[in-house]
Amino acid sequence: KAGVTQTPRYLIKTRGQQVTLSCSPISGHRSVSWYQQTPGQGLQFLFEYFSETQRNKGNFPGRFSGRQFSNSRSEMNVSTLELGDSALYLCASSGGGTSDTQYFGPGTRLTVL
């Protein structure tokens, strides 16, 4: 089975712009979660989508949003980028059950200048 894929792998934006990141889960997985990794805050949960519905959300401002499509692919959007949004954004997929393991993609490295 192919793993979780994320595009693009690297992205450079300037302050004030917006960005969209994409995640394709493992085939058959219905849950997609997004995480942000920074040197200062570590790995932090952004939100989770299951069957096109957001069912959990972390403590991030409304500039961070996401959606999931009927094929379980997910996108994450960050509007009005700030320097502090520079991070590795990771997507993880799972079957969606409470004991299902989450498998991570390679991440998208976002740099905001």
Partner 1 sequence: DQQVKQNSPSLSVQEGRISILNCDYTNSMFDYFLWYKKYPAEGPTFLISISSIKDKNEDGRFTVFLNKSAKHLSLHIVPSQPGDSAVYFCAARASGGYNKLIFGAGTRLAVHP
Contact segment (CB under 8 A) with partner 1 among 11-19, 30-38, 61-69, 75-83 equals 30-38
| Smaller CB separation from partner 1, 49 or 78 | 49
b/e for 21-44, b at 16 or more Cβ within 10 A?
bebbbbeebbbbbbbbeeeeeeee
- Helices assigned H by DSSP within the chain: none
Query: Please, what sign has the CA dihedral across residues 64, 69, 74, 79?
Result: negative
Write the binding mask 47 to 86 for partner 1: x where contact by CB under 8 A, - elsewhere. -x-x----xx-x----------------------------
Binding footprint of partner 1 on the chain (CB under 8 A): 4, 31, 33, 35, 42-45, 48, 50, 55-56, 58, 88, 90, 92, 94, 96, 98-107, 109
